[in-house]
């Protein structure tokens, strides 16, 4: 039953994000006087026509993911069709820029709305890129933090390894003194021959354990210590605070997504592999399943993050995507004349094929990771 629910959640996630994106193009095109010939739910081939509204045919298609809009003159057979009244090519440059950017804007807006809901109603924890940033946020009251020290690795030959100290464990005290940082733990061991660690171990770090360990000549037990939030929660936030955190989260995730895409290209070109953390359709399905298990608000956060990722990917100047098509409009504005149609079509086709190849490589990598 959980697999079925996850499958439905995955279907809804992809469909909603793409349809919201296409709705941006649809309403911007209509506002600019460009005829929208078709608004498709799902991807071709066409299954049936649902209804017709103001020159737009709304269709249901056989591939049940996402959707699309088809604008008049978007893929013209000749120059006459390209610049005919009501076609995309006949719209002003500013109107075409708005039409192409509207889908991205809708995904950004949708993500920010979900972030605002999450940071207020869901009391989400914002993304912090370092433990120091998390501590700084705690001093500002953005989050509630109980700092602790994590032991997640035993060094071979160390006294902790010989005593079979359980890992991972949270180190709460050294010789009865509460510790909140690795530096403090090391300081408390200095000059001693043995120490007693008070630990929290087991699932959820709920089981208390005390273990006495002799120290090496260097005054160490052979454990790897790192800062760790033993308790981390968010206070209740008003709408203004939630909107501020939504803007902050959008900025942080946008920067990290662009850096991740740069890392993907660099890794593929110079190392021939997909870096850790980059996932495709199979990985998204797996993340959807995990998020559904953890509750609706976790699933909602995944939707927000993917909406933002979709917006960023589309706005980059990649041929065949919105950003690539925007680039041609900008070039037209600079040159004061449209780009060569054959060159534009060829460039977009090559870009589309490269994207398909990239998706296949990432999907294959996702499948390998599953096994």
Average pLDDT over residues 328-336: 87
- Read off the pLDDT band of 283 (50, 70, 90): confident
Question: Minimal CA–CA distance to 72: which of 113, 36, 28, 33?
Answer: 36
Q: Which has the minimum average pLDDT: 34-43, 78-87, 278-287, 334-343?
A: 278-287
How are beta strands 207-214 and 177-178 bridged, if at all?
unpaired
Helix or strand or coil: residue 232? strand
The 10s digit of each residue's pLDDT in 55-69 is: 899 999 888 777 889
d(CA 111, CA 2): 26
The 10s digit of each residue's pLDDT in 110-167 is: 999 999 999 999 899 999 988 899 999 998 888 999 999 999 899 888 888 988 899 8
The 10s digit of each residue's pLDDT in 245-265 is: 999 999 999 999 888 888 888
- Read off the pLDDT band of 174 (50, 70, 90): very high
pTM: 0.84
The 10 Å Cβ neighbour count of residue 6 is 19
Q: Which has the minimum average pLDDT: 104-108, 306-310, 332-336?
A: 332-336
Say which residues have a Cβ less than 8 Å from residue 213's Cβ, sequence separation at least 6: 159, 160, 163, 165, 194, 195, 196, 197, 221
Q: Which has the minimum average pLDDT: 16-30, 110-124, 208-222, 330-344?
A: 330-344
Q: Domain map of the chain by residue range?
A: 2-35+72-124+247-370, 144-233
At 101 the pLDDT is: 94
* Distances 252 to 142, 248, 271 between C-alpha atoms, Å: 16, 6, 27
d(CA 49, CA 75): 21
Helix or strand or coil: residue 123? coil
3-state SS record for the chain:
CHHHHHHHHHHHHHHHHHHHHHHHHHHHHHHCCCCEEEEEEEEEEEEEEEEEECCEEEEEEEEEEEEEEEECCCCCCCHHHHCCCCCHHHCCHHHHHHHHHHHHHHHHHHHHHHHHHHHHCCCCCCCCCCHHHHHHHHHHCCCEEEEEEEEEEECCCCHHHHCCCCCCEEEEEECCEECCCHHHHHHHHCCCCEEEEEEEECHHHCEEEEEEEECCCCCCCCEEEEEEEEEEECCCCCHHHHHHHHHHHHHHHHHHHHHHHHHHHHHHHHCCCCCCCCCCHHHHHHHHHHHHHHCHHHHHHHHHHHHHHHHHHHHCCCCCCHHHHHHHHHHHHHHCCCCCHHHHHHHHHHHHHHHHHHHHHHHHHHHHHHC
Q: Mark residue 135 as left, alpha or beta (left: phi above 0; alpha: psi -120 to 50; beta: remaining).
A: alpha
CATH number for the region 144-233 comes to 2.30.42.10
At 76 the pLDDT is: 67
The 10 Å Cβ neighbour count of residue 259 is 10
Strands (E) across 184-268 are located at: 194-201, 207-214, 223-233
Return the residue matching tokens 């997504």: 257
- Read off the pLDDT band of 21 (50, 70, 90): very high
Question: Minimal CA–CA distance to 288: which of 28, 12, 6, 4?
Answer: 6
Given a contact cutoff of 8 angstroms between Cβ atoms, the answer to whether 37 and 19 are in contact is no
The 10s digit of each residue's pLDDT in 317-327 is: 888 788 888 99
pLDDT for 2 beyond 70: no
């Amino acid at each position: 039953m959980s697999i079925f629910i996850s499958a439905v959640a995955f279907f809804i996630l992809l469909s909603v994000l793409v349809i919201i994106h296409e709705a941006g193009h649809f309403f911007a095109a209509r506002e600019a006087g460009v005829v929208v010939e078709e608004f498709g739910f799902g991807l071709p081939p066409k299954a049936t026509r649902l209804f017709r509204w103001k020159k737009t045919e709304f269709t249901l298609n056989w591939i049940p993911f996402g959707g699309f809009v088809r604008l008049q003159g978007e893929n013209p057979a000749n120059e006459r069709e390209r610049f005919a009244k009501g076609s995309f090519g006949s719209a002003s440059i500013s109107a075409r820029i708005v039409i192409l950017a509207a889908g991205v804007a809708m995904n950004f807006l949708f993500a920010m709305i979900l972030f605002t809901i999450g940071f207020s109603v869901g009391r989400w924890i914002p993304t912090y890129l370092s433990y120091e940033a998390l501590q700084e946020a705690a001093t500002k009251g953005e989050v509630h933090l109980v700092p602790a020290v994590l032991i997640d690795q035993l060094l071979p030959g160390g006294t902790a390894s010989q005593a079979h100290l359980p890992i991972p464990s949270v180190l709460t005290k050294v010789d009865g003194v509460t510790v909140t940082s690795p530096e403090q733990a090391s300081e408390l061991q200095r000059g001693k021959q043995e120490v007693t660690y008070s630990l929290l171990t087991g699932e959820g770090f709920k089981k208390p354990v005390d273990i006495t360990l002799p120290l090496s000549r260097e005054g160490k037990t052979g454990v790897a210590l790192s800062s760790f939030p033993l308790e981390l929660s968010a206070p209740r936030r008003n709408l203004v605070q939630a909107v501020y955190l939504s803007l902050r989260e959008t900025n942080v995730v946008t920067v990290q997504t662009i850096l991740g895409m740069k890392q993907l290209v660099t890794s593929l070109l110079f190392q021939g592999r997909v870096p850790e953390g980059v996932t495709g359709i199979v990985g998204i399905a797996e993340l959807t399943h995990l998020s559904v298990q953890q509750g609706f608000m976790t699933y909602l956060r995944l939707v927000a993050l993917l909406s933002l990722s979709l917006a960023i990917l589309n706005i980059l100047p990649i041929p065949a995507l919105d950003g690539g098509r925007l680039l041609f409009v900008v070039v037209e504005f600079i040159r004061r004349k449209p780009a060569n149609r054959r060159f534009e079509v060829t460039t977009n086709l090559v870009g589309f094929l490269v994207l398909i190849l990239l998706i296949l490589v990432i999907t294959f990598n996702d499948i390998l990771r599953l096994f």
